[in-house]
Structures are given as C-alpha cells and as structure tokens.
C-alpha cells in the first residue's frame, strides 16, 4: 500500500476538503469527461446528496461546485478571479470552461440540494450532468468525495480504486504491524522507509521541494491567522480569537509569573490561527483534511519555537512520519467526518502529529507507533456536529485541543520503551467500527449534537 505525502498533504482552499475541495475536483474531472466525449453539449446540471446536501451551504459546496464547473482547481485557486466568475455566472447563467463551448448553467435551478435521496457509495455524493440543446441529459457521472480532497467516481469506488495501483515500492506496509516489522528488519526509521517509497515513484529533488512547499504554506497560514482579526463569514458571528490570544502571549513573554500550562495556549493559538483561516476560505493544507488542518502545523510550530534543539531540517521527517500514519488510517478506516465522525478527522490529525513529533524528538519506530495510538485512542467516538454546517464551532478550538493531546501522546510514548497494551492497528479498526455504528446525525449532517443544541443565529 502506498499513499504519497502529496496525497495526504494537499494545498487547497477552505473551509472543507471533503465539501469544498472534493466537489471542485469532481467538477473539474467532469469537465475532462465532457472534453473527451463526442457529444455536443449545451448545458450543465448537478445534484448534491447526503452530507454534501445537509451541510453544503455552510461548507460552500455549491460555490465550490460552480467554480469547479467554471474550470477552477483548489491548488491554483485565485480568490479575485473566483469572485468575478461567480458574479458572471449568476448574471448570465452561462459557464465557459476552457476547451468547451459556452454552457447554460443557472446555479439557482441547475444545482440541487437533494436532502431526500442519498447515494449508496458514501455519505458525500454528487451527480453531475451535461445536457443537449433540448435540455435532455446526455452525460452523467456520480462522484464521491471520500475525505481529505480525495474523489472517486462510483465505478472507481466499486472497483476499489481507493487503493494504490502504481509500481511497487520498497516498503509497502499496509498495517502498523507490517510497518514495524519492516523497520526492524531494515534498521530504518519510519521516515526513511517512507522517503524511499516516495523517491521510488519520483525524484528526490522534486520531493524535497514539494515537502518544503507544504510547510511553507502551512506556516504561512499560521502567520496570516495570527495577525488577522474580525468576524468569520457564515452568519454565526464567530470572532477570530487567534490574534488577540497571540498578542497577549507575546506581551507576557519573559515574565516570571506565567504558569507552566501557558504552553498549551501557544499550541492552541497556532492551531486556531490555521482553522480560522480555513473557516474564512483561505489557503490551507489538508492534514489530513481541512477541518483538521490546524493540528499538525501547530505541533510543528510548537516543536520549532519551544523545543530546545529543534531544527527546520527535521520537518521533512516529521511530514514523512505523519503521512505514513495517515496513510494507514485512511487505508484501514477513514479520514472522513461524514463517514466516521470527527474521530476520523481530528483524531487522525492528532495521531499523525503525535507520530511526527515523537520521530523528530528521537523516538524509535515502536515509540512512534505508540504515540500515534495514544493520540487516536483518546479521540475515539468523537462526533462531527458543526453548528450551522460551518467549520467553526466546535472545529476551531477542537484543533487546538488535539494539538495539546498530540504533544502529550508523543511525550508519554517517549517516556516508555515502545511496549504498550493496545496496538495502533486495533485502535484504527476500533475507530472504523465506531464510525460504522455512529448515528448519521452525528456525522457531519448538523442534525445532532452541538448543531441542534446551540442557537444558530
């Protein structure tokens, strides 16, 4: 099994990898399908199902789908051009994607939120259609946004295309047990094995540049969040808090009266900065999703800014180790809140961050696996219940608390010798089973939990 670092950490746009980035990618894929088709098209239609319908407005799913059908992609997203395109489509009821004729598309009537009919493959389903001059559908494709910006057609999902089909890699571990066996046999760290897998599929120089860009975007997101205040969009009137907290923490630096637990505020503020940027529709990196994008960057910043002897030269090892753990979770369970609740998003992020921190602080492969297990175990059962379908409450603070848990998990693992009672594989399987048993109203539908017990306006 192989899942690239660049699949796990994708540069994109907020507020959601599954509800914003995924639909945009699906729409772009549909345009490619149209370009390869012999038919003459005159119009576009779409329908959103399951969680994409129930929380689509709060997650900007409609906006993302419209922009995707206009030719926009998450990794090259330009806010000003996107706003101009949305305004033009709303006024003219026409979309003009590159390589296709001008197409009739009125978002108010041609993009439907279907709350009554779910699609069988995944909670995040959508159907895109192209019509002829008479308005009859002549091309239709169902897509599933399966979490973290990953998108599959219904055929790909049925054929198991979520698994890797590329050339063999040197260390093809598909479980934590196999990962540890290969590490023991080779004498290599998890990061070293993961790096060899990555380079076997590409170029060492390109890989190094790619990982450097991942951290550059992550850190840039933290920095923007720390200096920006105001009210987040969406109607909840949630105030940005990261700037105020950060300003206060900086003012208190050097004072002898600070309590030791103030370090938790630093971890939280880094994470909150990212997730406030995500909630505002800014540029973020999936880690492994947008809703959980603040946890891992926050732990890296904690490491760089607060751990003696820390070095930026270790960030690549951090990302490699984290991606290895994230790949195991995705392959054997889920990273989708709509499929398994927030345990699959923030829980996975905490496990990845704990593993990465443990690794760069000298942990053995056994200690790294232990750190990931501790962090994931103590997120088991966590629901995904965003108020008004927005990635704000409880998502922003939740990332901060997950960062604290990740650091604690890494510290506990480093205090031990790697021997522990619950294997990571068992914890991942438990998360999968828990997600399967969880009631749908607690899985990113905003039909239960905080979403219904907190006033939305």
Domains of the chain, by residue range, sit at 17-158, 176-200+202-453
Fold topology of 176-200+202-453? 2-methylcitrate dehydratase PrpD (1.10.4100)
Q: How far apart are CA 54 and CA 114, in angstroms?
A: 9
Distance of CA 176 to the CA centre of its chain: 21
Q: How far apart are CA 150 and CA 319, in angstroms?
A: 19
Q: How far apart are CA 324 and CA 355, in angstroms?
A: 9
* Residue 163, pLDDT score: 57
Radius of gyration of the chain (CA): 22
Q: How far apart are CA 53 and CA 47, in angstroms?
A: 8
Q: How far apart are CA 173 and CA 181, in angstroms?
A: 9
Enumerate the H helices of 9-150 as residue ranges.
22-35, 51-54, 61-69, 79-92, 107-110
Q: How far apart are CA 249 and CA 151, in angstroms?
A: 41
CB 215 within 8 A of CB 319: yes
Give the CA dihedral 396, 399, 404, 405, nearest 10 degrees: 140
Q: pLDDT tens string for the chain (457 positions)?
A: 899 999 999 999 999 999 999 999 999 999 999 999 999 999 999 999 999 999 999 999 999 999 999 999 999 999 899 999 999 999 999 999 999 999 999 999 999 999 999 999 999 999 999 999 999 999 999 999 999 999 999 999 999 865 566 789 999 999 999 999 999 999 999 999 999 999 999 999 999 999 999 999 999 999 999 999 999 999 999 999 999 999 999 999 878 778 999 999 999 999 999 999 999 999 999 999 999 999 999 999 999 999 999 999 999 999 999 999 999 999 999 999 999 999 999 999 999 999 999 999 999 999 999 999 999 999 999 999 999 999 999 999 999 999 999 999 999 999 999 999 999 999 999 999 999 999 999 999 999 999 999 976 5
* Residue 457, pLDDT score: 56
Q: How far apart are CA 444 and CA 450, in angstroms?
A: 11
Give the CA dihedral 374, 377, 383, 386, nearest 10 degrees: 10
Locus of tokens 């409880």: 394
Enumerate the H helices of 201-336 as residue ranges.
204-227, 242-252, 262-279, 295-306, 315-332
* Residue 391, pLDDT score: 96
User: Which two tokens mark 210?
Assistant: 């790619």
Residues 17-158: name the CATH superfamily: D-3-phosphoglycerate dehydrogenase; domain 3 (3.30.1330.90)
If phi > 0 it is left, if psi is from -120 to 50 it is alpha, else beta; for residue 402 that is alpha
Q: How many CA atoms lie within 13 A of 132 on its CB side?
A: 9
Per DSSP, the three-state class of 235 is coil
* Residue 167, pLDDT score: 87
């Amino acid at each position: 099994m192989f899942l690239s670092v660049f699949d796990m950490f994708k540069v994109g746009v907020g507020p959601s990898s599954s509800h914003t980035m995924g639909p945009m990618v699906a729409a772009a894929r549909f345009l490619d399908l149209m370009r390869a088709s012999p038919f003459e098209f005159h119009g576009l239609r779409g329908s959103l199902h399951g969680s994409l319908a129930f929380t689509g407005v709060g997650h900007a799913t409609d906006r993302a789908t419209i922009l995707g059908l206009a030719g926009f992609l998450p990794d090259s997203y330009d806010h000003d051009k996107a706003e101009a395109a949305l305004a033009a489509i709303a006024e003219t009821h026409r979309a003009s994607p590159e390589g296709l004729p001008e197409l009739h598309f009125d978002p108010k009537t041609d993009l439907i939120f279907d709350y009554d009919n779910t699609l069988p493959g995944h909670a995040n389903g959508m159907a895109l259609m192209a019509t002829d001059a008479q308005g009859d559908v002549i091309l239709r494709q169902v897509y599933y946004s399966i979490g973290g910006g990953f998108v599959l057609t219904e055929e790909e999902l049925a054929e198991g295309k979520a698994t890797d089909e590329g050339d063999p890699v040197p260390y093809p571990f598909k479980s934590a047990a196999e990962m540890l066996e290969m590490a023991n046999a080779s004498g290599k760290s998890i990061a070293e094995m993961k790096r060899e897998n990555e380079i076997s599929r590409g170029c060492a120089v390109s890989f190094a540049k790619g990982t450097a860009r991942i951290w550059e975007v992550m850190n840039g997101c933290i920095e923007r969040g720390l200096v920006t205040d105001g009210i987040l969009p969406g109607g909840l009137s949630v105030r940005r808090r990261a700037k105020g907290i950060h300003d206060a923490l900086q003012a208190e630096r050097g004072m002898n009266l600070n309590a030791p637990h103030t370090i938790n505020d630093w971890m939280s503020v880094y994470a909150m900065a990212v997730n406030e940027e995500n909630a505002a529709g800014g540029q973020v990196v999936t880690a492994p999703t947008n809703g959980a994008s603040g946890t891992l960057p926050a732990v890296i910043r904690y490491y760089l800014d607060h751990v003696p002897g820390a070095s930026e030269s270790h960030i690549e090892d951090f990302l490699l180790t984290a991606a290895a753990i994230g790949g195991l979770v995705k392959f054997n369970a889920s990273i989708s809140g709509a499929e398994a609740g927030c345990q699959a998003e923030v829980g996975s992020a905490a496990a990845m961050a704990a593993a990465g921190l443990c690794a760069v602080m000298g942990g053995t492969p056994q200690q790294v696996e232990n750190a990931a297990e501790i962090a994931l175990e103590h997120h088991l059962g966590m629901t995904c219940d965003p108020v008004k379908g927005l990635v704000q409450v409880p998502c922003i603070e939740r990332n901060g608390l997950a960062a604290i848990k990740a650091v604690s998990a890494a510290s506990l693992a480093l205090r031990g010798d790697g021997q522990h009672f619950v294997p990571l594989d068992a914890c991942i399987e438990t998360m999968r089973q828990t997600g399967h048993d969880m009631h749908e109203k607690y899985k990113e539908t905003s039909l239960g939990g905080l979403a219904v017990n907190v006033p939305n306006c």
